[in-house]
Structure 1
Amino acid sequence: MSSRTIRALALAATAVLSASLLAACGGDDDAAAGSTSEASAIRLGYFPNITHAPALIGVNKGYFQSALGSAKLETKTFNAGPAAIEALFSGAIDATYIGPNPAINGWAQSKGSGLKIIAGSTSGGAGLVVKEGINSPADLKGKKIATPQLGNTQDVALRAWLKENGLNADTQGGGDVSVLPQDNATALQAFAQGSIDGAWVPEPNLSRLVLESKGKVLVNEKDLWPNGLFVTTHLIVTQEFLKKYPATVKKLLQGHLQALDEIEKDNAGAQKAANEQIKALSGKPLKDNVLESSFKNLTFTADPVASSLYTSAKHAEDVGLLKPVDLKGIYDLGPLNELLKAAGKPEVSDSAA
């Protein structure tokens, strides 16, 4: 066989091998394209807080992981909504339980492209606790009131309520009422020591201020809302992850609904599971009386109570903490409603009314 023939055969063999490799690569791409509804993992954020009880229970009882199957659940905890939004937008997490105002801010920040609200989680469980001697809005003039963080859900609620009652508070701690954003642990200590006069906080801190520091509830926020319902926590996901892995998101929702069912069917067991997870995360469980009081003051529901989100956004605008924002499209409740319908449960709405 001549050297020319050998070279020709070698070139032919190379061409065949290259074609085979290209075909193999093409097949892999096709397979990948066909499996984009399933992710290998999902990174979920939540807070070590009883207002995030469905998340606590879902992780503790393994409901999320069971529903996800082969997809791995990876979790990360946060102490404030803005930090969770930052992690969501940086790609550190794919989904998170979060309050309404950080979600609104995230939607505005991303110009409607960064996230979708896919389910409700928690309603209620927030309000203003004050020391004895404060019996009306007028008594708050010149007083110091804490909130968890500037612009967070409770901070907006307090400022809006003050404005409705003829009192003003600026973002620097001045005005008729000095609003002092500080983390919940600091607020609890400050109230016990008498260095603040009250705090607008979520559970379990509301119950702790009452039961441990002899505070009294001046405003239970649920009294300010129709039917006593307003969103405290809901579940959001990045639009990119939802679009790419809809089946994985639906499975996450299955775990979420299972946690909500646990609360409804075995409230005592749900409380125990939530407290076990808080202990695992923080090293210290809630006291039994605080845990029981917190659960009584909260409603856990897949309904995102959408009308309250739109009202919260208006409140934030009214107190100068948010520029006008169009919230149309912030919800994608399709996957949730499919699951609710299959389970014979009422579907939920994203209506502002």
Structure 2
Amino acid sequence: MRSRTLRALALATAAVAATTALAACGSSDDDNQKADTPAGAAAESKTLKLGYFPNITHAPALVGVNKGLFKDALTGTELTTQTFNAGPAAIEALLSGAIDATYIGPNPAINGWAKSNGQALKIIAGSTSGGAGLVVKEGINSPADLKGKKIATPQLGNTQDVALRAWLKENGLNADTNGGGDVSILPQDNATAVQAFAQGSIDGAWVPEPNLSKMLLESKGKLLVDEKTLWPNQQFVTTHLIVSQKFLKEYPGTVKKLLQGHIASVKYITDNNADAQKAANEQIKSLTSKPLKDEILTAAFKNLTFTNDPIAGSLFTSAKHAEEVGLLKPVDLKGIYDLGPLNELLKANGQPAVSDAAAS
């Protein structure tokens, strides 16, 4: 099945490239030299440096690397990968040229766009939706019960931190950036928050999978807010795929092949869910030596949706929320998406196009 899918995508890519090739501009550097490219085809690089996280919310990357789907798609290009544990580090790597593309959450992408005045990156595909929420101790049954409580988020200004602060504000509660206010928000990495919740030193945490499932299943936590219930159609961007603008301009052919591998990975997860879970966990084990327990893996996968759609409306809303809680200066996100190559491939493969429009 995988080989047939890749052959179909490869033919689609070739057909699209022949008629709508993107022009290369700029000069190549030592690490990304142009590969020999047939006349009329979009320019390709000899190398591609891809970033992703050893986290189940990055399953399309985990599966794509583990099953060789990116390698199969990137014919003529050598793929190297680098993993990160936090969005800001991945953005810095992209800005410095240490990587060419990366899977990442929405708020780091927004911050990278703002920091570079819209010059550093483009969002080229969706990846993951859902899988985040507020887990609390028993006895906390409403927003009012959170007064005086300690709640963790992964990092000040990160995607889950913004979601918590916006939800608190909507429910008449305040929290400042120093841990004060009606609710004390404590920035802690996910592993620390999971341990702190188990030990009882915090009252809850707004976390992504698989940490949400760990807190529910291992520490008998209670899900007070499932974040997807706060969004239209219960969909919001958790992870998407971005690329540096420089690389996109110079090597559009390679970017299309990267997208071909990405589409194949999302399809593989959809068509082979059990094996995809195993492949993702194998990749996590190879990267961290700590695979997820089967019950955690199954619960986390069930709570996530893997999609090519970047769910653009949720990105614009998330940026608005960050502005409203004082964590982001007003930023113009017009142009942050370039979904043309993705939509060309989807159309050629008989799949519906995705939109870069803000929510209406």
TM-score by length of 2: 0.88
Deviation string for 1:61-99 (max 9, x for gaps)? 010011001211110111111111011101110000000
Contact 2:37 2:44 survives alignment (8 Å): no
Give the 5 Å matches for 1:195-206: 195-206=201-212
1:52 aligns with 2:31: no
Equivalent in the alignment of 2:184: 178
- Give 3-state SS (helix, strand or coil) of 2:51's partner: strand
Contact 1:184 1:205 survives alignment (8 Å): yes
| CA–CA separation in structure 1 for the residues paired with 2:38 and 2:94 | 24
Instruction: Give the letter aligned to residue 212 of structure 2.
Output: L
Once the two structures are TM-superposed, the CA of residue 184 in structure 1 deviates from its matched residue by 0.6
Equivalent in the alignment of 2:46: 40
After TM superposition, which residue ranges in structure 1, 4 or more long, deviate above 3 angstroms? 31-36
Q: Which runs of 5+ in 2 are unaligned?
A: 1-32
Give the 5 Å matches for 1:65-104: 65-104=71-110
Instruction: Give the letter aligned to residue 190 of structure 1.
Output: A
Equivalent in the alignment of 2:199: 193
| CA–CA separation in structure 2 for the residues paired with 1:217 and 1:153 | 18
| CA–CA separation in structure 2 for the residues paired with 1:347 and 1:125 | 24
Deviation string for 1:32-61 (max 9, x for gaps)? 997871101111110000000000000000
| CA–CA separation in structure 2 for the residues paired with 1:300 and 1:86 | 26
- Give 3-state SS (helix, strand or coil) of 1:308's partner: helix
| CA–CA separation in structure 2 for the residues paired with 1:45 and 1:216 | 33
- More displaced 10-residue stretch of structure 1: 307-316 or 65-74: 65-74
1:161 aligns with 2:175: no
| CA–CA separation in structure 1 for the residues paired with 2:313 and 2:45 | 32
Using a 3 Å threshold, how does the CA distance of structure 1 residues 271 and 32 change in structure 2: closer, same or farther? closer
1:211 aligns with 2:217: yes
Contact 2:105 2:240 survives alignment (8 Å): yes
Equivalent in the alignment of 2:259: 253
Give me the CA root mean square deviation.
1.5
- Give 3-state SS (helix, strand or coil) of 2:162's partner: helix
| CA–CA separation in structure 1 for the residues paired with 2:259 and 2:354 | 14
Instruction: Give the letter aligned to residue 318 of structure 2.
Output: S
Equivalent in the alignment of 2:30: none
1:115 aligns with 2:139: no
Deviation string for 1:127-161 (max 9, x for gaps)? 00001110000000111101111111001000000
- Give 3-state SS (helix, strand or coil) of 1:255's partner: helix
Contact 2:37 2:43 survives alignment (8 Å): no
Instruction: Give the letter aligned to residue 79 of structure 2.
Output: L
| CA–CA separation in structure 2 for the residues paired with 1:199 and 1:110 | 31
| CA–CA separation in structure 1 for the residues paired with 2:97 and 2:299 | 36
Q: Report which of the two has the higher share of helix.
A: 1
| CA–CA separation in structure 1 for the residues paired with 2:333 and 2:152 | 29
1:290 aligns with 2:302: no
Equivalent in the alignment of 1:6: none
| CA–CA separation in structure 1 for the residues paired with 2:86 and 2:184 | 21
Contact 1:36 1:244 survives alignment (8 Å): no
Deviation string for 1:2-24 (max 9, x for gaps)? xxxxxxxxxxxxxxxxxxxxxxx
| CA–CA separation in structure 1 for the residues paired with 2:92 and 2:175 | 27
Contact 2:154 2:190 survives alignment (8 Å): yes
Contact 1:125 1:298 survives alignment (8 Å): yes
1:347 aligns with 2:353: yes
Equivalent in the alignment of 1:326: 332
Contact 1:87 1:93 survives alignment (8 Å): yes
